[in-house]
């Protein structure tokens, strides 16, 4: 399976462990991420229109070279292509259009056999201080509600399925003491908005595996060395399976 993400640092978080996660479950993938920090859907469209080689072309979680969207689309016979909105705008559907539908039409024309997904990203940590979070009243649960609504509309607009990364992260925050940051648990964010290099990234990689292949997180034997607490790994796997089974 060949996977391409038209994304930013949040898809970078998702891709870091994805190859190893899938391989350990017996699934061979070729995963590429188009990384441009903080890139919005408008930004992706603007790069395409101007044919800019703006992206770091990351293969299996590692940077290789600069590339344009048009070149990346023709680089492989992609099976899966994902879109997402930049986190400050993820809960504001008016920022998605017309750029998402415009991008979809272009990508669909070049890659007619690909299956399309929306990568549903996550809300910020509860104590994150930024103008972007102020747009959501500095309220994690409100931001989560907004992004749920916006991503649902986005997926419907291009008839795509959703990879529920943000749902898994929020479930862990709300339903496990280990990741209940407000009450002494670990944060799943390393800086208030990107995922932690250990459990945060691992949780989302498992989510992608389960959604794309229809498997269980317990199929996966790979665990990053950074994830050194077996109980937390078990809790994350159970959370991923709970969210995916509930879809």
pLDDT value for 225:
97
pLDDT value for 46:
98
Q: Are 241 and 172 in contact (CB under 8 A)?
A: no
pTM exceeds cut of 0.95: yes
Mean local confidence (pLDDT), 59-76: 98
CA atoms within 13 A on the CB side of 185: 19
* Cβ atoms < 10 Å from Cβ of 64: 11
Domain ranges of the chain: 2-245
Q: Is the pLDDT of residue 247 over 90?
A: no
Q: Are 239 and 172 in contact (CB under 8 A)?
A: yes
Percent of the chain with pLDDT over 90: 100
Positive or negative torsion for Cα 64, 192, 14, 222:
positive
Label residue 140 by pLDDT band (50, 70, 90): very high
- Residue pLDDT, tens place only, 145-169: 999 999 999 999 999 999 999 999 9
Label residue 102 by pLDDT band (50, 70, 90): very high
Q: What is the topology classification, in CATH, of domain 2-245?
A: Rossmann fold (3.40.50)
Distance, CA of 19 to CA of 144 (rounded, Å):
28
Distance, CA of 48 to CA of 4 (rounded, Å):
15
Q: What angle do CA 153, 77, 27 make, to 5 degrees?
A: 80
Label residue 25 by pLDDT band (50, 70, 90): very high
pLDDT value for 18:
98
Work out the mean pLDDT of the chain and round it to a whole number: 98
């Amino acid at each position: 399976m060949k996977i391409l993400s038209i994304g930013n640092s949040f898809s970078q978080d998702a891709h870091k462990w994805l190859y190893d996660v899938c391989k350990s479950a017996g699934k061979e993938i070729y995963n590429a991420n188009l990384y441009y920090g903080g890139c919005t859907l408008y930004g992706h469209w603007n790069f395409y229109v101007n044919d800019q080689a703006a992206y770091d072309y990351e293969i299996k979680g590692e940077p290789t070279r600069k590339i344009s969207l048009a070149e990346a689309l023709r680089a492989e016979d992609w099976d899966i292509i994902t879109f997402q909105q930049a986190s400050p705008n993820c809960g504001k559907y008016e920022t998605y259009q017309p750029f998402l539908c415009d991008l979809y039409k272009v990508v669909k024309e070049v890659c007619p056999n690909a299956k399309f997904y929306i990568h549903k990203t996550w809300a910020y940590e509860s104590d994150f201080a930024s103008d972007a979070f102020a747009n959501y009243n500095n309220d994690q649960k409100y931001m989560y509600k907004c992004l749920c609504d916006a991503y649902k509309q986005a997926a419907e607009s291009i008839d795509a399925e959703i990879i529920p990364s943000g749902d898994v992260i929020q479930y862990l925050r709300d339903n496990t003491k280990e990741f209940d940051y407000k009450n002494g648990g670990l944060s799943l964010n390393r800086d208030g908005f990107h995922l932690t290099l250990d459990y945060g990234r691992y949780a989302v990689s498992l989510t992608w595996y389960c959604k794309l292949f229809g498997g269980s997180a317990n199929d996966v034997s790979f665990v990053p060395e950074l994830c050194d607490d077996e109980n937390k790994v078990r809790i994350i796997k159970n959370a991923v399976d709970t969210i995916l089974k509930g879809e």
